[in-house]
Structure 1
């Protein structure tokens, strides 16, 4: 069972691993009395796309790795104006991409996010590899999700020949 100090150590170690490879931590919030942790992490040379590391009491000894698709206001408007059936079809396409790599996809309030729960033993090199594999899978998945979204919108609303 993970103790409070272990959870803090895991969180701090994860952030250090990220910093060691030039990831930027823009927000880092810790509420020790409630065991809540939150970090906003930007990959190297990236100023727009980010992922979050989240944990609260409900996650017990785990952490949630979460990325949201960064849509422009026009993209968000296009998505919001899709009929529910079209939104569901888009969700199914995304789910087909994410399921084989064990990532969850959520669509809430016109925000598409990809999530993965992590359980990390910071003393294991295999867990460090698992963490990095998860970060890379997440980054690749977000790229595929964005492509899928734009392909889907283009299929629904083909641009007229000029």
Structure 2
């Protein structure tokens, strides 16, 4: 005989086998702006993405009348989203850090620190698409982040250390102005 807390569970009983949302079942596609060479195998270098807080906190606005307080929904502080992607870095057969070179080319479209040249927004914004799926590969959520530009620095190597055996990674943050979310 099954215990009541299991036999009354509506999420895992026969006919209703719900699955947990798993944070490691996702794909991220980064689409750089026109003119920026797409790094080969970029998808395979993504370790993690953070900052997918799309629905921002809305602070309450209060009004007083005598000894009572009325509360109303205010506006969010910001409607943009900052996402950070952690990439692994590799060298190709030509001994190039190709992913870093792509990110640097993208960054230089907005501001080139070697020449001081600054670009127009239409030339430095790209798109990031995040797809989440279940263990069978069925997509249940797609987030398309649009008008994204790099806001972080590009720290290729901030510290060199003889005592580490860890492979180098690159963390890049984008500011994204708008998003579209589709839920299954």
Greater Rg over alpha carbons, structure: 2
Query: Which is helix-richer, 1 or 2?
Result: 1
**TM-score normalised to the size of structure 1?**
0.28
Query: Which is strand-richer, 1 or 2?
Result: 2
**TM-score normalised to the size of structure 2?**
0.26
Relative contact order higher in (CA < 8 Å, ≥ 6 apart): 2
